[in-house]
A and B are shown apart, each in its own frame.
Chain A
Amino acid sequence: MVSSTDSTWGQVMTDAAVPVTQSAVETFTEQYLRTLGCDIDKHDNRWAVTTPNEVDSELLTDSLTLVCGSDVGDGTAEELHPESQFFQTLLTEASERTPTGKISLETDDAAVQIPKWLQGSDIEVRSADFTPYYDRTALVVLFRVSIETVSEYQTELLQAVALDTRSEEFLPTLEETFLQIASPDNEAGTSESMDMQAADIRPLLDTAREQVVGRIQETIDEVHQEASRAADAEVEEFRQMQQQRIQELEEQLSNLSARIDDLSQQINSSDAGERVEALKERKELKTEYEDVETELDDLRQCRDQGFPERQREIRARHALDVQVKPLTITEVEYESGELEVVLATDEHTRDFTAGYGTGVGITEVVNCSKCEKKLTETNPVRDIARGLTCLDCYREE
Chain B
Amino acid sequence: MVSYDLVDVEVTHGSADVLLESLSQDSDDHIQSVQATRLQAGQPDSELRALKQLDENSVKMLEHQVDAAYRALFKMDGKALLADEVGLGKTIEVGMILKEMHFRETNDSVLILTPAQLAKQWQAELREKFGLDFICNYDDEFNGFDDHDYIIASIDTAKSDHHRSTVLKRDWDVLVLDEAHYVKNEDTDRYDLIDRLTYNYAFFLTATPIQNELTDLYNVISLLRPGLFGTRDVFHQYFIDSSQETLVNRDELHERLHKVMIRNRRAETDIDFTDRTVDTRTFDPSPAERELYQAVSDYVKGAYGQNQGQKLVLMLLQKEVVSSPAALKHTIEKRLDEQSEPTHADELESILGLIEEIDTVTKQERLLDIVEEARDNVEKGRVIVFTQFRATQRQVLDRLASEGYTVHSFHGGHSSEEKEQIVGDFEAEGGVLVSTDAMSEGRNLQFCNILVNYDLPWNPMRVEQRIGRIHRIGQKRSVYIFNMALKDTVEEYVLDRLYHKIDLFQQSVGELSSILSRLEESGTSFEDEIFERLVNAGSEVDLENDFDDMAVDLQEQRELADKLEEFNSGVFDGFDLGASDD
Cα of A21 to Cα of B47 in the assembled complex, Å: 10
Given contacts A91-B36, A91-B39, contact A98 B74 (CB under 8 A): no
Q: Which of B6, B11, B36, B75 sits near A324, CB closer than 8 Å? A: B11
**Contacting residues, chain B, for A77 (C-beta < 8 A):** none
> Is residue A3 within 8 Å, beta carbon to beta carbon, of the partner chain?
yes
Q: B41, A28: Cβ atoms under 8 Å?
A: no
> Is residue B376 within 8 Å, beta carbon to beta carbon, of the partner chain?
no
> Is residue A18 within 8 Å, beta carbon to beta carbon, of the partner chain?
yes
> Is residue B38 within 8 Å, beta carbon to beta carbon, of the partner chain?
yes
Q: A18, B29: Cβ atoms under 8 Å?
A: no
> Is residue A229 within 8 Å, beta carbon to beta carbon, of the partner chain?
yes
Q: B30, A232: Cβ atoms under 8 Å?
A: no
Given contacts A100-B23, A225-B4, A322-B10, contact A158 B37 (CB under 8 A): yes
Q: Which of B10, B197, B230 sits near A1, CB closer than 8 Å? A: B197
Given contacts A9-B74, A19-B42, contact A230 B226 (CB under 8 A): yes
Q: B43, A184: Cβ atoms under 8 Å?
A: no
**Contacting residues, chain B, for A193 (C-beta < 8 A):** 23-27
> Is residue A168 within 8 Å, beta carbon to beta carbon, of the partner chain?
no
Q: Which of A232, A316, A326 sits near B234, CB closer than 8 Å? A: A232
Measured CB to CB, the closest approach of chain A to B187, in angstroms, equals 13
| Of A1, A227, A234, most B-chain CB atoms within 10 Å | A1
Q: B32, A319: Cβ atoms under 8 Å?
A: no
Cα of A149 to Cα of B45 in the assembled complex, Å: 26
Q: Which of A2, A13, A82 sits near B202, CB closer than 8 Å? A: A2
**Contacting residues, chain B, for A228 (C-beta < 8 A):** 2-7
> Is residue B201 within 8 Å, beta carbon to beta carbon, of the partner chain?
yes
Q: Which of B12-20, B351-359, B414-422, B566-574 contacts A (4 or more CB under 8 A)?
A: B12-20
Measured CB to CB, the closest approach of chain B to A370, in angstroms, equals 38
Given contacts A8-B106, A18-B39, A100-B22, contact A324 B14 (CB under 8 A): yes
| Of B78, B197, B230, most A-chain CB atoms within 10 Å | B230
Cα of A112 to Cα of B560 in the assembled complex, Å: 68
Main secondary structure of the interface of A (DSSP, over half): mixed
Q: Which of A149, A188, A209 sits near B29, CB closer than 8 Å? A: A188
Given contacts A18-B39, A92-B40, contact A100 B19 (CB under 8 A): yes
Measured CB to CB, the closest approach of chain A to B1, in angstroms, equals 8
Chain B's interface size range is: 35 or more
Which residue on chain B has the smallest CB distance to residue A185? B35
| Of B22, B44, B226, most A-chain CB atoms within 10 Å | B44
Interface members, chain A 284-342 (any B CB < 8 Å): 311, 315-316, 318-330
Q: Which of A22, A101, A197 sits near B30, CB closer than 8 Å? A: A101
Q: B228, A95: Cβ atoms under 8 Å?
A: no
> Is residue B533 within 8 Å, beta carbon to beta carbon, of the partner chain?
no
> Is residue B199 within 8 Å, beta carbon to beta carbon, of the partner chain?
yes
Q: Which of A198-206, A247-255, A372-380 contacts B (4 or more CB under 8 A)?
A: A198-206
**Contacting residues, chain B, for A190 (C-beta < 8 A):** 28, 31
Interface members, chain B 212-267 (any A CB < 8 Å): 222, 224-234
Q: B12, A18: Cβ atoms under 8 Å?
A: no
Which residue on chain A has the smallest CB distance to residue B222? A233
Interface members, chain A 9-46 (any B CB < 8 Å): 9-14, 16-22, 24-25, 28, 31-32, 35
> Is residue A144 within 8 Å, beta carbon to beta carbon, of the partner chain?
yes
> Is residue B541 within 8 Å, beta carbon to beta carbon, of the partner chain?
no
> Is residue A183 within 8 Å, beta carbon to beta carbon, of the partner chain?
yes
Q: B30, A191: Cβ atoms under 8 Å?
A: yes
Which residue on chain A has the smallest CB distance to residue B259? A226
> Is residue B195 within 8 Å, beta carbon to beta carbon, of the partner chain?
yes
Q: A153, B77: Cβ atoms under 8 Å?
A: yes
> Is residue B337 within 8 Å, beta carbon to beta carbon, of the partner chain?
no
Interface members, chain A 154-189 (any B CB < 8 Å): 156-158, 179, 181-184, 188-189
Number of A-B contacts (CB under 8 A): 269
Measured CB to CB, the closest approach of chain B to A198, in angstroms, equals 4
> Is residue A281 within 8 Å, beta carbon to beta carbon, of the partner chain?
no
**Contacting residues, chain A, for B28 (C-beta < 8 A):** 98, 101, 190-192
Interface members, chain A 121-162 (any B CB < 8 Å): 142, 144, 149, 151, 153, 156-158
| Of A14, A156, A329, most B-chain CB atoms within 10 Å | A329
User: A206-230 toward B: CB 8 Å interface, digit per residue (1/0)?
Assistant: 0001000100000010001111111
Q: Which of A1, A184, A196 sits near B39, CB closer than 8 Å? A: A184
Cα of A158 to Cα of B41 in the assembled complex, Å: 7
**Contacting residues, chain A, for B225 (C-beta < 8 A):** 2
Given contacts A230-B226, A233-B230, contact A96 B33 (CB under 8 A): yes
Q: A19, B7: Cβ atoms under 8 Å?
A: no
Interface members, chain A 26-81 (any B CB < 8 Å): 28, 31-32, 35, 70
User: B271-303 toward A: CB 8 Å interface, digit per residue (1/0)?
Assistant: 000000000000000000000000000000000
Given contacts A94-B36, A321-B12, contact A229 B201 (CB under 8 A): no
Interface members, chain A 354-380 (any B CB < 8 Å): none
> Is residue B369 within 8 Å, beta carbon to beta carbon, of the partner chain?
no
> Is residue B157 within 8 Å, beta carbon to beta carbon, of the partner chain?
no
**Contacting residues, chain A, for B42 (C-beta < 8 A):** 13, 17-20
Cα of A181 to Cα of B5 in the assembled complex, Å: 41
> Is residue A99 within 8 Å, beta carbon to beta carbon, of the partner chain?
yes
**Contacting residues, chain A, for B506 (C-beta < 8 A):** none
Which residue on chain A has the smallest CB distance to residue B30? A101
Q: A182, B38: Cβ atoms under 8 Å?
A: yes
Q: A234, B27: Cβ atoms under 8 Å?
A: no
Interface members, chain B 381-395 (any A CB < 8 Å): none
Measured CB to CB, the closest approach of chain B to A55, in angstroms, equals 13
> Is residue B9 within 8 Å, beta carbon to beta carbon, of the partner chain?
yes
> Is residue B171 within 8 Å, beta carbon to beta carbon, of the partner chain?
yes
**Contacting residues, chain B, for A158 (C-beta < 8 A):** 37-38, 41
Q: B8, A315: Cβ atoms under 8 Å?
A: yes
Measured CB to CB, the closest approach of chain B to A98, in angstroms, equals 5
> Is residue A282 within 8 Å, beta carbon to beta carbon, of the partner chain?
no
Interface members, chain A 96-110 (any B CB < 8 Å): 96-103
Cα of A202 to Cα of B77 in the assembled complex, Å: 38
Q: B36, A320: Cβ atoms under 8 Å?
A: no
Q: A9, B8: Cβ atoms under 8 Å?
A: no
Cα of A22 to Cα of B44 in the assembled complex, Å: 9
Measured CB to CB, the closest approach of chain A to B40, in angstroms, equals 5
Cα of A189 to Cα of B35 in the assembled complex, Å: 11
Q: B40, A95: Cβ atoms under 8 Å?
A: yes
| Of B24, B40, B171, B228, most A-chain CB atoms within 10 Å | B40
Cα of A293 to Cα of B267 in the assembled complex, Å: 63
Seed contacts A103-B30, A151-B226, A319-B10; 4 additional CB < 8 Å A-B pairs: A2-B199, A17-B41, A98-B26, A229-B227
10 sample A-B contacts, Cβ–Cβ < 8 Å, listed by A number: A1-B195, A97-B32, A101-B33, A182-B34, A184-B39, A227-B4, A229-B230, A315-B6, A323-B11, A325-B13
